[in-house]
């Protein structure tokens, strides 16, 4: 086999690692909370085969209901290519489809309806970026392995977006900074709120939560994903129902060895009356209300809260009584109740 064919095989294998396709039910479950944002907007699904994508299907079926101006769906080379057709040049090119709601257009495009890029359709390519510049809102499930770069592009071009990522993404340096600065936040559903992903036949069905659905699709349910967005939603305005107090329960909240703050193992245990820095699990982000709390940092070098909470040169690992604690997000209550007894504690 020729060298360029070997290179093609290696690249194909690498790209398939990111083939996790979103189910229509999960899209409907999340998008119902954002309908007001889409009127007269151009939506771009830039990691989606218009022939098979459930993101394209959702927006095409709801085009008039949402009042969309245009829908664009684009993807990186054909998903059903055959390696024996390597010499077919167009199958090495990405493609896109535009839908504007006209009667002469179809909401079920075939490969006869698509327009091919000159290049491979990578979201970073000039051709794809030119389409991105047209868009108002981007909605898709981007490659997890390129999540940092993908999100950075959306921020660079000042796009509104709603995308799926791994829960660990909130601890990425670039993503955490945006969350801390209240430029992006979590969507409504995460974890088991995302039922699973459709994977290709060559994927091994690993783990305990795998199945084949009624349409014959192979489903993997990792239960470790979330929606990330900069579109406003009701959840980020909900207060946490705090029921505990620090005053009189100090022993329940040990102080850190190397940070000026207290440790909290469960979000429900955040005290209503503590004014200083608190370390909470990263799952706090799912309940973060910027009017209720301020994010000061996290227990990574890039999230150093600084003085007076952390002395320069001290370890970034969180510990109390010489016992290490899992990674923490550091927060401060913006409206602490100074006398817990005011609410009957």
183 within a domain of the structure (yes/no): yes
> φ, ψ for residue 296 (rounded to 5)?
-90, -30
Q: 314: Cβ–Cβ under 8 A, 6 or more apart, which residues? A: 258, 259
Environment class of 274 (CB within 10 Å of its CB; exposed 0-12, middle 13-18, buried 19+): buried
What number is the average pLDDT over the span 262-288?
A: 95
- Where residue 1 falls among pLDDT bands split at 50, 70, 90? very low
My answer on whether 281 and 222 are in the same domain is no
Q: What token pair was written down for 258?
A: 């190397």
What is the DSSP pairing of strand 137-140 with strand 160-166?
Answer: parallel
- Answer with the one of 231, 260, 294 that is the final residue of a domain: 231
236 within a domain of the structure (yes/no): no
My answer on whether 75 and 170 are in the same domain is yes
CATH no. for residue 113?
3.40.50
239 within a domain of the structure (yes/no): no
My answer on whether 80 and 199 are in the same domain is yes
Element (H, E) at 175: helix 173-180
My answer on whether 71 and 203 are in the same domain is yes
What number is the average pLDDT over the span 44-56?
A: 96
My answer on whether 296 and 214 are in the same domain is no
- Answer with the one of 231, 258, 290 that is the final residue of a domain: 231
My answer on whether 255 and 218 are in the same domain is no
Give the tens place of pLDDT for each residue, 200-214: 777 776 655 788 888
My answer on whether 150 and 271 are in the same domain is no
My answer on whether 204 and 318 are in the same domain is no
My answer on whether 200 and 295 are in the same domain is no
Going by the DSSP 8-state scheme, the letter that residue 32 receives in this structure is: T
- Where residue 321 falls among pLDDT bands split at 50, 70, 90? confident
175 within a domain of the structure (yes/no): yes
- Answer with the one of 169, 202, 231 that is the final residue of a domain: 231
Domain that holds residue 310: 250-343
Return the higher-pLDDT residue of 14 and 99. 99
Q: Which residues of 77-109 are buried (b: 16+ CB within 10 A; e: fewer)?
A: bbeeeeeeebeeeebbbbbbbbbeeeeeeeeeb
pLDDT surpasses 80 at 9: no
DSSP string, 57-103: HHHHHTHHHHT-SEEEEEESS-TT--GGGTT-GGGGS-EEEEE---T
Full-model pTM? 0.86
65 within a domain of the structure (yes/no): yes
pLDDT surpasses 90 at 317: no
My answer on whether 105 and 170 are in the same domain is yes
My answer on whether 19 and 164 are in the same domain is yes
My answer on whether 210 and 271 are in the same domain is no
Name the domain count of the chain: 2
27 within a domain of the structure (yes/no): yes
245 within a domain of the structure (yes/no): no
296 within a domain of the structure (yes/no): yes
Lowest mean pLDDT among 81-95, 169-183, 318-332: 81-95
């Amino acid at each position: 086999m020729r060298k360029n064919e070997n290179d093609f095989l290696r690249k194909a294998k690498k790209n398939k690692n990111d083939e996790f396709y979103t189910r229509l039910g999960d899209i409907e479950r999340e998008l119902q909370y954002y309908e007001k944002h889409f009127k007269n907007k151009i939506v771009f699904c830039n990691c989606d085969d218009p022939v098979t994508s459930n993101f394209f299907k959702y927006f095409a079926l709801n085009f008039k209901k949402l009042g969309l101006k245009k829908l664009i769906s684009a993807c990186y080379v054909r998903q059903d290519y055959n390696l024996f057709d390597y010499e077919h040049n167009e199958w090495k090119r990405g493609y896109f489809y535009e839908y504007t709601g006209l009667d002469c257009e179809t909401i079920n495009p075939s490969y006869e309806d698509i327009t091919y890029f000159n290049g491979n359709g990578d979201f970073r390519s000039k051709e794809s970026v030119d389409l991105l510049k047209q868009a108002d809102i981007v909605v898709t499930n981007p490659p997890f392995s390129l999540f940092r770069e993908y999100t950075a592009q959306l921020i660079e071009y000042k796009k509104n977006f709603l995308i799926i990522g791994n829960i660990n993404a909130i601890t990425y340096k670039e993503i955490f900074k945006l969350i801390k600065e209240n430029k992006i936040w979590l969507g409504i559903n995460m974890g088991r709120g995302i039922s699973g992903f459709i994977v290709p036949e060559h994927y091994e069905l690993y783990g305990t939560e795998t199945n084949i659905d009624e349409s014959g699709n192979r489903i993997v349910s990792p239960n470790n994903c979330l929606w990330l967005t900069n579109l406003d939603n009701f959840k980020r305005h909900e207060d946490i129902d705090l029921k505990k107090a620090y005053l009189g329960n100090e022993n329940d909240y040990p102080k850190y060895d190397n940070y000026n703050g207290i440790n909290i193992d469960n979000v429900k245990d955040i005290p209503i009356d503590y004014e200083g820095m608190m370390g909470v699990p990263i799952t706090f982000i799912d309940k973060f209300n910027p009017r209720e709390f301020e994010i000061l940092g996290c227990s990574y070098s890039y999230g150093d809260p600084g003085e007076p909470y952390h002395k320069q040169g001290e370890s970034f690992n969180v510990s109390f009584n010489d016992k290490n604690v899992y990674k923490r997000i550091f927060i401060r209550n913006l409206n602490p109740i100074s006398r817990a007894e005011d609410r009957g504690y």
